[in-house]
Structure formats: structure tokens, C-alpha cells
Amino acid sequence: MARNCSECKEKRAAHILCTYCNRWLCSSCTEEHRHGPTPGGPLFPRAQKGSPGVNGGSGDFALYCPLHTQEVLKLFCETCDVLTCHSCLMVEHKEHRCRHLEEVLQNQRMLLESVTTQVAHKKSSLQTSAKQIEDRIFEVKHQHRKVENQIKMAKMVLMNELNKQANGLIEELEGITNERKRKLEQQLQSIMVLNRQFEHVQNFINWAVCSKTSVPFLFSKELIVFQMQRLLETNCNTDPGSPWSIRFTWEPNFWTKQLASLGCITTEGGQLSRTDTPAYAGLQGPSSFYQSHQSPVAQQETLSHPSHKFQSPALCSSSVCCSHYMQEGIQPKRRRRHMENDRTKRMSFRLANSISQV
């Protein structure tokens, strides 16, 4: 195994070991590195490759004791943490805990192998945990997209129901106002026709009075008086009725509260601990999303409103309830409109007959 010089910056190959410093030196640094006044020092040359070392291996270094130059350092003092020979063991390390170098190296290898195994297991465990965390992050992103789509779907359902209800109210408003306008227009038309009849009779009387030939007037005076009397007896509804008003009534506070309780974000481990999330009673996990899909009319049914007279929500679904409520509210109005139309037609028919007879 190659050694580098521990003194020079170039890190050249080492050839000599200083036993005082326990440092390897190159040929250039050997002349400058001396300990003590005597020239030359306890410097030992590097063992040649292939020479028997401590373990007899071909690649080990043979380290000799600086005091006993003929003995190889084959022992390791664990008390002093230094290499020693048999002679030094008997003198300086007599009562110290010493072991053979092969045993110390073997124990060190076993310790390093054990630590390496533990490090490998720890690394494998960390990699497994990292993979699981990455999977959880991907799962969180997937769940986020899934729940976001569910929330958007709930918004679309509510918007569709809201548009449907608003369109129904607008159609109902158009039906009521058109019916009212048609009745007033028919009444106005009847009055205008009767007014033209009176104007015609008035012009005829003025012409007959001012005419120079009065003989025809005398012969037809009874018929003229009879027609005028019939015209005066003709009844026409000239009463426009009381001032008519129409308005849209709703409860904004109620619907605001309903939208505030539109839904709730829940997890498998329980409800999220958010301060701005209201605490809903009676929610059961994933079913909260499907509860938010109910139409506003169906949600209004669940409340015990004093004026609630419709069918119980347990007997019909949310889509049926919407049409059911609309039909329940529209049918009486349609009957009233039908009766008013019949009454108006009969009055118009009588008025037309009376005018035609005139």
C-alpha cells in the first residue's frame, strides 16, 4: 500500500518512517527532519514490497521498535493506544492491556463491518421512508385534484339548479304580466269600439238635425231612438281596477346560511382542524359531498318552516321536489287565469253582439 509524505505539500511517495513522530517522510524531507543533537536519528527505511510483515502478508509493512531494533511491533497496547514489541511489553507496558496486532485488526474490521451493516440498514430504511413520503405527496396531489373536481361539480350542480329555478320564475313572471297586459288591452279595445259607436251615433244625430230634409228623419225616429237606447244600455267595464303591483320575495339570509353550509372537507382520520371550517353536526365522512349536491329547494324542505305545506322530502327526490313545488305553486294560478280568460271572453262576446245589433 503506497504511503505519501506527511511534511511536503507535493505529497510525494514516502520512503522513511520517523518513530518519534510516527510520520512517513520522503527522501527530500528526511534531511531536514531530525530529532536530537546526533546526526541521523531513529529513522527506519520503508519495507520492500513482498517482504514478510506483521502478519506475514506480502502487502503489509514491517515496523520495527525504535528501542529494540531487531523486534517487530506485533503488539498493541490498548491502555496507551500505541504499538509495542515483546521487550517493551515486559518493561513499559507490563500491567497494561495489550493484544496481538492481528486480533486488534480483526476486531476493528468486525466493528467496521457491523457499523457498515447498520449504516446500510439505516440507509435502506431511509430510502424506503423517502419512497413512501414521495408516494404520499403524489397521493395528496391526486386527492387534491379529485376533491377540487368534486367541489367544482357541486358548484355546477348548484348553478344549474339555480338557473333552472330562476328561469322558471322568469317564465312565471312573463306569464302573469302578459295575462294582465292582455286583459287590459282587451278592456281598452272594448272601450275604444264603444267610443267609436257613440261618436258615429252623435255624428248621425247632428247630421239628421241639421239636414234640410226632415221627412226621412221623422219616419225613422223610433228606430233611431231604439238604437240609441240600446247603445246607452250597453255595458262596458271601464274600471281599470286597483293599482297592480308585482314583486319578487325571497330570504337572502336563509340562502346565505344554506350556502355557508354547502359542504365540508373531511379526511379518513376525522375532520380537518381548521379554524375557519364550521363544525357541522351529523356529517358522516364522504357522504357530506353528496349531501351538498341537493338542490336549494330540497335543502329548504329539511327545515321546519312554519309556512311549509309541501310534501315531505322523504317521499320524493331533490329533482322531483323542484318540479313538484313548481307545479304545486303554478296550478292554482293557472286555474285562476283560465277562469279569468273565460270571463273576459264572455264579456267580449256580449259586447260584440250588442255593438253588431246597433
* Extents of the domains making up the chain: 16-100
Question: Please, is 345 exposed, middle or buried when counting C-beta atoms within 10 Å of its C-beta (0-12, 13-18, 19+)?
Answer: exposed
Residue 34 backbone phi and psi in degrees, to 5: -135, 145
* Grouped pLDDT means (10 residues each) for the chain, 358 residues: 75 76 76 52 42 42 74 80 78 76 85 92 94 94 93 92 93 92 89 86 80 70 78 77 84 85 75 42 38 41 38 37 42 57 55 46
Residue 290 backbone phi and psi in degrees, to 5: -70, -25
Among 298, 351, 289, smallest CA distance to 321 is for 298
Give residue 307's pLDDT: 39
3-class DSSP assignment, residue 72: strand
Among 301, 10, 272, 312, smallest CA distance to 147 is for 272
Residue 88 backbone phi and psi in degrees, to 5: -65, -30
Question: Please, is 254 exposed, middle or buried when counting C-beta atoms within 10 Å of its C-beta (0-12, 13-18, 19+)?
Answer: middle
Could you give the C-alpha distances from 336 to 93, 169, 184, 314, 343, in angstroms and in order?
A: 123, 18, 16, 31, 11
CA atoms within 13 A on the CB side of 221: 6
Rounded CA separation 86/84 (Å) = 7
Give residue 342's pLDDT: 62
Residue 289 backbone phi and psi in degrees, to 5: -65, -40
3-class DSSP assignment, residue 24: strand
CA atoms within 13 A on the CB side of 216: 9
Rounded CA separation 160/145 (Å) = 22
**Which long-range contacts (C-beta less than 8 Å, at least 24 apart) are formed by 33-36?**
33/7
Are 221 and 229 in contact, with CB atoms under 8 Å apart?
no
Are 187 and 240 in contact, with CB atoms under 8 Å apart?
yes
Among 96, 55, 90, 59, smallest CA distance to 76 is for 96
Give residue 174's pLDDT: 93
> What are the E-state strand segments in the chain?
16-18, 23-25, 43-45, 75-77, 82-84, 98-100, 266-267, 270-271
Class of domain 16-100: alpha beta
Rounded CA separation 11/24 (Å) = 11
Dihedral sign (CA 21, 25, 27, 29): negative
